[in-house]
Structure 1
Amino acid sequence: MCELLKAGVPWIHSLSPFFPEPVVSEKMETLRKTDTQSFMDEVWKYYESKIEKEGLEAGYRWSTWIFSGRTTKELQTTASIVWERHQKDTSPQAVQAFYPMSELVKELEKTGTKIWIVTASPEPVIQMVSELWGIPKQNVLGMRLLEKNGTLSHELIEPFTYGIGKVELVNLANGNQGYDIAFGDSENDFPMLSHVRSKGIFLDRGKKKIPPNGTLIQSVADWKTIPKP
């Protein structure tokens, strides 16, 4: 998302549908052409304000426009570039996989467990990296944006993978077979954690979120990322 915003999203013709206040829209249009860092900062402020007023799901749904305006292939190309860059990044801000979770996925795969990635991120973006962990692209369930004339729009295909929508999409994908175990690290995952046949495991990032009753809690405060070659 940051990569797209720092580019000024020039492929999006107008920002007015996403910033209905004329003064704000005009400001955003100017910033994205003159100061993309400030543009990104202002977008995040607006996003946080929306979450504060309307809730996290409303913020997620609003943010879909950031991924719109280009083809799926173009979005995936950007995702691939960003992922490769982050794997070489040594800063704490780099997006890298947790080593313990990677090892757990390997062990589950050895037992023949079918593993799904269920995410509020765009499905095509996560499909670019899922196979690195042995998870087939077709087992990635994420945000799906409606295509119009080959271009991604900001309109969502329901169910949206937020909250109970994650549970609904898993059931659609596996023929209502349900699932035995689920891992999640945010309130967005709480319905998924509570609809398991066996156990939900909350990966606690120290944000003082309380998962559903019966959920196991695993702190990730001391988890290391996968060692670099």
Structure 2
Amino acid sequence: HGWTPAQVKSFASEARTENLNAPADAVQTVGSNTRATAWVRYYDQQRDLIRTLKKAGFDVWITSASPEPVVDVWARGAGVDPDHAIGIRSTTEHGRITSHLEGCGSAKDGDDSVITYIDGKRCWINQEIFGVRGAAAEKVQPAAGRQVFAAGDSDTDVSFLRDATGLRLVLNRNKNELMCRAYDDSDGRWIVNPMFIEPKGQKTAPYPCATTGYTDHDGTPAPVRRSDGSVVPDQKDSVYGG
């Protein structure tokens, strides 16, 4: 609140440079005593995938639950222009960012109810990429109006991954709902890959898909269900790092 988008991009650019140049495993103190990761890398495989998709004629976008000025800076380094990057969009007043959000679907600017997170990613993708307006943007669209390929690594990516009509690439970070759906592979369109940097080892216990793998809107754990309502059985972790 109070900064211009250009200033936020400048902060993000400086942080990007600092963290890309930091040695692997660097940490920093945030606040008085919180220790946090202080290094980051782009996946070479991610950049290669984006280049390959573009050469094949795909229109490649990034959507992230981070502020859009920050997403714009990081997307460019992955090979995606800012006009193809969607993040959390704040309203502006006299050229400066406010504490309120732009709306999507049935949510108006200032309602502060929808961001690029879980089902909100679906809304923003439908609205900004496919041009769907109003409450319809919150709904799953007909197959011809959805993304062909999607990739993600978090439970918060499940909605837009499920919307993909062709293939869905999942990087395994041991996230319960995501891995339940990916390993269940109910329609044969899910692909699982270990993380490319410091991949996680095998999760020893099965994913609790049939009991608590899903988190309901009120935070209550519940079984993971397929589109037809059937429960996904517990899944063994089978694609992991060494």
Aligned length: 157
Distance 1:183 1:99 in 2: 15
Task: Tell me whether 1:180 sits opposite 2:125 in the alignment.
Answer: no
Q: What's 2:8 paired with? A: 75
Choose which of 52, 56, 60 in structure 2 pairs with 1:115.
60
1:133 aligns with 2:78: yes
**Match of residue 168, structure 1, among 109, 123, 128:** 123
Deviation at 1:133, TM superposition (A): 3.0
Distance 1:140 1:198 in 2: 21
What is the aligned-residue RMSD (CA, Å)? Answer: 2.0
Unaligned runs of at least 5 residues, structure 1: 1-67, 225-229
* Deviation of the 1:123 alpha carbon: 1.1
**Structure 1 residues 222 and 78, CA gap change in structure 2 (3 angstroms):** closer
Of residues 189, 192, 204 in structure 1, which corresponds to 2:157?
Answer: 189
Aligned partner (choices 96, 99, 112) of residue 41 of structure 2: 96
User: Do the aligned residues in 1 keep the contact of 2:155 with 2:176 (CA within 8 Å)?
Assistant: no
Separation of aligned partners in 1, 2:196 and 2:75: 24
Comparing both structures, which one devotes a greater share of its residues to helix?
1
More strand by share: 2
Higher RCO (Cα < 8 Å, 6 or more apart): 1
Instruction: Tell me the TM-score normalised to structure 1 length.
Output: 0.62
The one-letter amino acid paired with 2:16 is: W
- Conservation of the 8 A alpha-carbon contact between 2:155 and 2:175: no
Which amino acid is the alignment partner of residue 126 of structure 2? Answer: N
Provide the TM-score with structure 2 as the length reference.
0.59
User: SS of the counterpart of 2:66?
Assistant: strand
Using the aligned pairs only, state the percent identity.
23
* Residues in 2 aligned to 1:158 and 1:185: alpha-carbon distance in whole angstroms: 25
